[in-house]
Structure 1
Amino acid sequence: MANNTHSKTKDSRLQGGIVDHLWLMFEKSMNTDLTIVVRGNHQNQQALKVFRCHKLVMGRLSKLFDGEHMSQVNLTVSDDTDPKAFLVVIRYAYTDMLVLTTVEEAIPIHKVACSCEMHQLKKDLEAFMLKTANKESVWNLLSYSNRGVNLTEWAQSCLAQETKACLQIPKFLSCSQSTLQILLSLQQLDVTELELIQAVIRWTQHNNKGRPLEPKSSKELLGLCLNHLRFLCLTPAEFSRHVAQSGLISKEDALMVLINLNTGDEAVLPPYVCKIRTPRQESGHSDPVSRLLKEKNKDTESPIAAKKIKIEQEEPTVPLAWEDEASDTNKEKLNESEVFCYRRIDQKFVHLPQIFRTPKNVRMDLKISKRAALVGFKLETQFKLLRNANATESSTYKESICIDVKGNATLTQAACYSGPANYDGHLDIRFKRPLKLEADVWYSIYFDMRCPGFYKNYVRQNLVYTKGVEVKFNRDKNCTHSANPIMAAILSFN
């Protein structure tokens, strides 16, 4: 009878493969030759856990466990990690299995894998986190500094597409300042600028330990995050109601922002206030043209911010020059020999238009690689500055512009326009007789903007190719971009 019992026990141990046997040897501490002492923190108390392992098995993961005369390894895990979590690492070494269910469980193991140079474990953990991550995991991943490129891209993508849901997660309020800065640096979010600013105010109040917000404490808590808040995208009423009285900034700075929202005068803005007037892209609208044209139709109160900076629909997005495009102002059929050499808006700077007040003089240089006739220029027109959000004002104004062209020695010619123009449009100004330009000669063009008002200066590329001809718009070789309202030069090559 005894022999039969011994036989059954022996048979049960022989069941399964080599992996099962290895794991059984670890569980029973059979023939172990390596002791791993792990120190950490569990529930705010120092904790220690000892694991007896096999050097040959653990050496698969890292050279740290592969010393010839090594019998003990002492490890210290991060303060917020229970030493018992190291059992996940050991199970992976013996069975190639990751016994995890959430990203939150995987992050402390990933920290161990990084510190112990367990490269394959680190790779498998990142694959697991990518597979199981959801919006509940976003703030944990963004707060984790060793998350890697793929996890960073996933977290930022999730944040952009599900911003509202992510901002409602309680962990948002406890995220770090650097994590908050990652959120504010994104150019595509699924919330309005007002909703984003309100979320930042909630974060600041939470981290201020429930005390009333004051400008000094707000600046300390937010740091550089304050520079990313786009107050100029709000209406005066929104800013007064939600920001001016929140304690986020001082009353004096709030007054300066309100003055700017009503006048567009950037000279009065505090230096830390973000100068960007265009809101971040909405999720699902990656094309700036579509987004800005959509925003144009929104009914808002702000005289500047509500007039969302639009990109003219006829602007080229791929070619550097778009030819034979009729303007809204000049409806007559264009001469087939005329070419519009458009200065493409640089997409890197599409969110950073400069605004200047006229009367003012603007200079631009022009050089072409082939003899041509300068017919005229296409310019941005003024944008309307409403003093009263409920006022109904004319959509046109009286424009007055004079263009002087100066070249070698005695060459000089002028073109002037004085008459009606549409707000937020464009205007073609032509010379009475086309001006003949020599090849590879710099010409200086002076635009005398005489009508009082405001113009948008987009950053545009200065090098244009059309019909095999190189057209340069700036003499300074060190300046590859230039911000001004000149959209295109109208040339004729006949």
Structure 2
Amino acid sequence: MAGNQRIKMDWRREHSTLADQLWFMCEKELRTDMVVTVSDGKHSKAFKCHQMIMMRLSTVIDNMIENAHREPGIGCYISISSLDPALFPLILRFAYTDEVRLETIHEALLLRSISKKYEIMKLGMICEKYISNNLDEDTIWEIMDEPMRGPTMNSKLRWYLGQNTSRCVKSRQFVNCNQSSLAELLSMTHLNIENELELVRAVLKWADVKNNGQPLNPSISQRLLGQCLPHLRFLALSATDFSNFVAKSGLLTSEESLAILVNLTCPGQMSIPDTVCRNSAARGKPGSPVPVESDESQEGSWLNANWREGGQEVDSVVKEEETVQEDWVTVEAKKKQKGQKTPDLERSTSFSSLHINELAKLDLQTNVPPPKRNINNIFSQQPRQPSIVQPGEKLHRMNLMRMTMPTMTSYTQDVTAPLEVPIEFKLNKTIYLVGIKTMSQVNKSDATMTVYRESIYINIFTAEEGKHFYGQLFEDMIEYGPSTVDIMFKRPVTIKADRRYQMRLSFKAEGNYVSQCRNTTVYGPRDITAYFYGIEQNPGKGLLHSLIIDCA
């Protein structure tokens, strides 16, 4: 008895802090009362631990313990799947000591995924911080391939890609990324590259590795690069570069190559296939501000996962840098046809090259470049926007997201377009509404196409008077999702504080969507609060993903 007491006293003296003592008890399996079986499908291992320690990780694990099978003398049994048993000691150490010893991005990504699944909030935040601190041109591609990254991490990844594009595509890990990550890079409008040819050559290198060094042909290119090709701006290349690097590469069909080459030499003389990007503008250079962290810290994307604070469901707010580009062709065409200075319906699209029939209506020479116009002049008949900033203040861009997580099935419904979606909302501060994010269509399981033509009418009214004060048509080639579609307004729309507005979204393209939404109060930085109403009456309201706002 005295000997056993001395042993017990010895370890308590050697491990003087609470964390050290608890971890010692776990390692030596002292007074354990539960068993956790961890498996990744190939390997399985059982770990003995303590219920009172494990239950503090999250309500999910607490519920698992409460409902677990129990045996006398051993305690309860729970199972954790889809995790390498070699990584579970990291979770155990965190449970007992609040400490995580990560060594690789791969470990951080795996633990972050498990943290999301079992809602271990603090562990997930630690993993995100580790990922953010170890982001470079090699690790970014493994992170990009991770599904369900969350808006905060996604915003930072896009910022890093934009700032360091040349280094990232020259990285040895670039050729290992998947098709969706490559497509996300190519869809960005602002990249730090010398010209579009640099991207084309990177895509050819990626395709060569994926095709095991075998020659490409249009069929193989469509399989390897289906959702990527519509984002490559072949019309931004010179005719010489296109002939030398693309025409004979096997990326495109002969018809597509011919149409592009004709338009590079004689713009507008041949129609461009729908599968080819019509944007002939060079990509813009990215701005310098680092997004995300100035107002919301590392907790942003975890708040998005519907963590409850004070009994409220909280959605995250993400900063993003955007640039609104004027579609001068459409504006001029409508002015000429209707004889109006300001069109009743504005048109937003990423296609900036001239379509042959639009040129015929405009009666313009195809080789004359578009005039540089001030976007404020186009909407000169619109009422002057009241300023929401004081002298010396700056506007801050935020993304107010209002959808649920896909796992919350009670808020998830399938909807079919065409359909009209009315949405009422109110904010507690006066802001500029500069755009929205909507959900993209879900592809059919047997479909081979990876993109579709989206068409959405956006109209905004005052809810009480029904006064219409903004309208826009958005059309573009969009990747199937579900993922988000960014729609930037042609001019900022002033939303006044504590006043209800109605936004009507008319989805015209036939197809299927997944609507994930609920009545939500969205809390953002700078004391911004947004309220959304009447979700039950129209399940399609989940197709509005976010409001993109500028605020003081």
TM range (shorter): 0.5 to 0.7
Shift of 1:456: 2.8
Q: Secondary structure at the match of 2:220?
A: helix
Q: 1:75 aligns with which of 75, 80, 102?
A: 80
The answer to whether structure 1 residue 13 and structure 2 residue 12 are counterparts is yes
User: CA separation in 2, counterparts of 1:196 and 1:134?
Assistant: 19
Residue of structure 2 equivalent to 1:111: 113
User: CA separation in 1, counterparts of 2:133 and 2:366?
Assistant: 59
The answer to whether structure 1 residue 270 and structure 2 residue 273 are counterparts is yes
Q: 2:153 aligns with which of 151, 154, 159?
A: 151
User: CA separation in 1, counterparts of 2:107 and 2:269?
Assistant: 49
Shift of 1:184: 0.7
The answer to whether structure 1 residue 456 and structure 2 residue 370 are counterparts is yes
* 1:219-274 residue CA offsets vs partner (Å, 9 max, x unmatched): 11111211000001111110000000111112232122111101101643222111
CA contact (8 A) 1:34 1:53 kept: yes
Alignment of 1:244-393 (within 5 A): 244-265=247-268, 267-284=270-287, 348-350=324-326, 352=327, 354=329, 362-366=336-340
Residue of structure 2 equivalent to 1:98: 100
Residue of structure 1 equivalent to 2:61: 65
Any unmatched runs of 5+ in structure 2?
69-75, 290-321, 343-353, 355-360, 386-467, 475-552
The answer to whether structure 1 residue 214 and structure 2 residue 213 are counterparts is no
User: CA separation in 2, counterparts of 1:39 and 1:366?
Assistant: 67
User: CA separation in 2, counterparts of 1:51 and 1:183?
Assistant: 42
CA contact (8 A) 2:36 2:77 kept: yes
Please tell me the residue identity of whatever aligns with 2:276. V
User: CA separation in 2, counterparts of 1:235 and 1:242?
Assistant: 11
In the superposition, the TM-score normalised over structure 2's length comes to: 0.53
User: CA separation in 2, counterparts of 1:52 and 1:267?
Assistant: 71
* 1:144-185 residue CA offsets vs partner (Å, 9 max, x unmatched): 112222211111111111111111222211211111111011
Please tell me the residue identity of whatever aligns with 2:324. K
User: CA separation in 2, counterparts of 1:111 and 1:257?
Assistant: 43
Shift of 1:13: 3.3
CA contact (8 A) 2:22 2:96 kept: yes
CA contact (8 A) 1:184 1:225 kept: yes
Residue of structure 1 equivalent to 2:49: 53
In the superposition, the TM-score normalised over structure 1's length comes to: 0.59
Q: Secondary structure at the match of 1:50?
A: strand
CA contact (8 A) 1:113 1:119 kept: yes
User: CA separation in 2, counterparts of 1:207 and 1:89?
Assistant: 36
Return closer, same or farther for 1:466/1:171 CA change in 2, 3 Å cut-off. Answer: closer
Q: Secondary structure at the match of 1:275?
A: coil
User: CA separation in 2, counterparts of 1:266 and 1:452?
Assistant: 8
User: CA separation in 2, counterparts of 1:50 and 1:13?
Assistant: 26
User: CA separation in 2, counterparts of 1:10 and 1:257?
Assistant: 81
Q: 1:187 aligns with which of 186, 189, 207?
A: 189
User: CA separation in 1, counterparts of 2:382 and 2:174?
Assistant: 51
User: CA separation in 2, counterparts of 1:450 and 1:263?
Assistant: 14
Greater CA deviation, 211-220 or 135-144? 135-144
Shift of 1:108: 0.5
The answer to whether structure 1 residue 37 and structure 2 residue 11 are counterparts is no
Please tell me the residue identity of whatever aligns with 2:211. N
Please tell me the residue identity of whatever aligns with 1:181. A
Residue of structure 2 equivalent to 1:376: none
Q: Secondary structure at the match of 1:242?
A: helix
User: CA separation in 1, counterparts of 2:335 and 2:7?
Assistant: 100
Residue of structure 1 equivalent to 2:296: none
User: CA separation in 1, counterparts of 2:253 and 2:202?
Assistant: 19
CA contact (8 A) 1:357 1:452 kept: no
Larger radius of gyration: 1
Identity rate of aligned residues, in percent? 29
CA contact (8 A) 1:35 1:53 kept: yes
User: CA separation in 2, counterparts of 1:196 and 1:247?
Assistant: 16
Please tell me the residue identity of whatever aligns with 2:241. E
Please tell me the residue identity of whatever aligns with 1:199. A
Shift of 1:215: 0.6
Q: Secondary structure at the match of 2:35?
A: strand
Return closer, same or farther for 1:448/1:53 CA change in 2, 3 Å cut-off. Answer: closer
User: CA separation in 1, counterparts of 2:80 and 2:214?
Assistant: 41
User: CA separation in 2, counterparts of 1:453 and 1:23?
Assistant: 74
CA contact (8 A) 1:102 1:133 kept: no
Return closer, same or farther for 1:463/1:60 CA change in 2, 3 Å cut-off. Answer: same
* 1:426-477 residue CA offsets vs partner (Å, 9 max, x unmatched): xxxxxxxxxxxxxxxxxxxxx99588864637895643169989xxxxxx99
Q: Secondary structure at the match of 2:39?
A: strand
Residue of structure 1 equivalent to 2:202: 199
Shift of 1:33: 0.7
User: CA separation in 2, counterparts of 1:107 and 1:466?
Assistant: 49
Please tell me the residue identity of whatever aligns with 1:276. N
Size of the aligned set, in residue pairs, is 330
